[in-house]
A and B are shown apart, each in its own frame.
Chain A
Amino acid sequence: MKRIEEAKVKKSKKKKNRLVFRSIVLLILFAAVVFALVSNLNKDNAVIGVGDQAPNFELKQMNGDKQSLTLDELKGKGVMLNFWATYCKPCEEEMPYMEALYPEYKDKDVEIVAVSLDATELVIDRFIDKYELSFPVLHDNKGQVLNRYNIGPLPTTFFINEDGIVVEKVAGALTLDRLDGYLKQIQPD
Chain B
Amino acid sequence: MKKIVCDSCGHQNPEGTVLCQQCGKPIDQNQYIDGNENSKLINMRYEGSARRSKTHNKSIVDKTWNFFSSVKIGIWLISITIIASAVGTIFPQEMYIPPNVSASEHYRDQYGILGQIYYQLGFHNLYSSWWYMILIALIGISITIASIDRVVPLYKALNMQKPKRHESFLKRQRLFSSTEQVSEDDKQKAITTLKSIRYKVTEEDGHVLAEKGRFSRWGPYINHIGLIIFLLGCLFRFIPFMYIDEYVWVREGETVLIPGTEGLYYIENKDFILETYGDSPEDERFKEALQKQGGMVAKNYQTDAVIYKNTNPSALGLDPELEKFKEDSIRVNHPIKFDDFALYQSSYQQNEFESMSFKLHRTDDPEEESLGSFSVNLANPENEYILDNGTRVVIDQYFPDYYLDDGEPRSKSKYPRNPAYVFLVYPPGQDDYEISFAGIGRNVDPTGNNEFKLGLQDFEVRDVTGLSVRRDYTLPIISLGGLIFMIGVVQGMYWQHRRIWLHPKNNGLWIAAHTNKNWFGIKRDIEKVINDTNIKMVMDQEEDQNNYQPEEQTK
Contact = CB atoms under 8 A, between A and B. Distances in A.
Interface of A: 11, 14-15, 19, 22-23, 25-26, 29-30, 32-33, 35-37, 39-41, 43, 55-60, 68, 70, 85-87, 89, 117-123, 125-126, 140, 142-145, 147-148
A89 B383 CA distance: 24
Q: Enumerate the 9 nearest inter-chain pairs by beta-carbon distance, A residue then B residue, closest first.
A: A39-B238, A57-B316, A57-B317, A33-B137, A119-B414, A58-B317, A87-B411, A59-B317, A29-B141
Nearest to A118: B414
Contacts, number: 122
20 contacts: A11-B1, A19-B61, A22-B61, A23-B61, A32-B140, A43-B128, A59-B318, A60-B318, A87-B400, A87-B412, A117-B414, A119-B415, A120-B398, A123-B398, A126-B398, A140-B317, A142-B255, A142-B256, A147-B257, A148-B316
A86 B411 contact: yes
B184 interface: no
Contact of A36 (B133, B315, B411): B133
B259 interface: yes
Contacts of B140: 29, 32
Nearest to B383: A122
Nearest to A12: B1
A110 to B, nearest CB: 22
Nearest to B413: A87
B414 A85 contact: yes
Contacts of A37: 130, 133-134, 137
Interface string B269-304: 000000000000000000000000000000000000
Nearest to A28: B144
B316 A144 contact: yes
B55 to A, nearest CB: 11
Contacts of B134: 33, 37
Contacts of A119: 379, 400, 414-416
A143 B145 CA distance: 48
B148 interface: yes
Given A11-B1, A36-B235, A119-B415, A25 B316 contact: no
Given A39-B238, A144-B263, 11 more contacts: A22-B61, A26-B64, A37-B130, A43-B238, A58-B315, A58-B318, A117-B414, A119-B379, A120-B378, A123-B400, A144-B320
Contacts of B381: 120, 122
Given A87-B411, A122-B395, A26 B61 contact: yes
A35 B231 CA distance: 13
Interface in B233-257: 235, 238-239, 255-257
A32 B318 contact: no
B401 A87 contact: yes
A60 B535 CA distance: 98
Nearest to A119: B414
B162 interface: no
Interface in B127-146: 128, 130, 133-134, 137, 140-141, 144-145
B257 A120 contact: no
B316 A40 contact: no
